[in-house]
């Protein structure tokens, strides 16, 4: 492959052609209001994974593969796979990350199951119909090796349920949902928005400008991450749970 083609192939890892628009007036780039919280979630998950020794990980409900990609970049020697029910999402994930393993499938119906040291459910269970959620968690546990871990984030009941979600959760609900298969090791609330957060969003983007001054961008993100995203209060809009799989023989011994 020629050097010029390699450069182009590298650039295709991000869909930069889709950034500018003109149909409703020229715009150089779109802005995603959830972006600050999303990047903070990625950073948080990677920091949590750094505390665990593991050789394999599956991203269940991986969507377009962005988090899967970031984890792979931070843990290049770890076997990483992603699975999602959406064909569109998986096609994007595979196109942007040809070196990774992605599968379009519904884990509830999947017959051949491979074990991983860690499974992650990042903003997934709120999209699952409540009538199938217990089965979904049971199937998730089948992907996790004995003494393996589950990392989960989901909106809390402190946040209004959005149109694309079935429900939001309390800690008590999550403990009960996971308890047949996992023992919770850690649980905290995430993202406690306040007036400072509202000001940050206005500084980052508004009808007059999008902030591009890197030192200020870094300062805003770091302040948000330390003081607003990570908090131990019970008012956070999100919940993070780290849970260890219960061994089958342990289950038998406890009966």
- In the prediction, which pLDDT does 255 show? 33
- In the prediction, which pLDDT does 145 show? 96
Q: Where are the alpha helices (DSSP H) in 2-150?
A: 3-11, 35-49, 66-74, 87-96, 130-142
- In the prediction, which pLDDT does 250 show? 46
Q: Residues of the chain whose pLDDT is less than 50?
A: 250-255
Domain borders along the chain are: 33-192+231-254
Would you list the DSSP string of 32-50?
-TTHHHHHHHHHHHHHHHT
Cβ(39)–Cβ(221) below 8 Å = yes
- In the prediction, which pLDDT does 253 show? 40
Task: Please state, in angstroms and rounded to a whole number, the distance separating the CA atoms of residues 118 and 141.
Answer: 10
Task: Please state, in angstroms and rounded to a whole number, the distance separating the CA atoms of residues 203 and 15.
Answer: 26
The CATH architecture to which 33-192+231-254 belongs is 3-Layer(aba) Sandwich (3.40)
Cβ(153)–Cβ(122) below 8 Å = yes
**Can you tell me whether residue 245 is helix, strand or coil?**
strand
Task: Please state, in angstroms and rounded to a whole number, the distance separating the CA atoms of residues 233 and 52.
Answer: 25
Is-above-0.85 flag for pTM?
Answer: yes
């Amino acid at each position: 492959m020629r050097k010029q083609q390699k450069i182009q192939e590298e650039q295709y890892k991000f869909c930069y052609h889709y950034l500018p628009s003109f149909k409703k007036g020229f715009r150089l780039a779109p802005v995603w209001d959830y972006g600050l919280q999303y990047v903070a979630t990625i950073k948080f998950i990677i920091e949590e994974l750094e505390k665990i020794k593991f050789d394999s990980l599956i991203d269940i409900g991986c969507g377009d593969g962005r988090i899967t990609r970031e984890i792979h970049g931070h843990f290049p020697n770890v076997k990483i796979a992603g699975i999602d029910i959406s064909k569109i999402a998986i096609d994007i994930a595979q196109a942007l990350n040809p070196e990774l393993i992605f599968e379009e499938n519904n884990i509830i119906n999947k017959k051949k199951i491979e074990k991983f040291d860690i499974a992650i459910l990042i903003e997934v269970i709120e999209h699952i119909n409540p009538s199938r959620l217990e089965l979904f968690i049971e199937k998730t546990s089948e992907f996790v090796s004995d003494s393996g871990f589950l990392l989960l984030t989901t909106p809390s009941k402190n946040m209004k349920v959005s149109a694309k979600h079935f429900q939001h959760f309390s800690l008590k609900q999550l403990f009960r949902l996971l308890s047949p298969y996992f023992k919770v090791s850690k649980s905290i609330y995430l993202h406690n928005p306040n007036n400072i957060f509202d000001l940050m969003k206005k500084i980052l983007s508004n009808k007059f400008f999008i902030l591009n001054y890197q030192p200020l961008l870094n300062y805003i993100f770091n302040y948000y991450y330390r003081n607003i995203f990570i908090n131990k209060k019970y008012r956070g809009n999100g919940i993070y749970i780290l849970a260890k799989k219960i061994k089958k023989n342990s289950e038998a011994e406890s009966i």
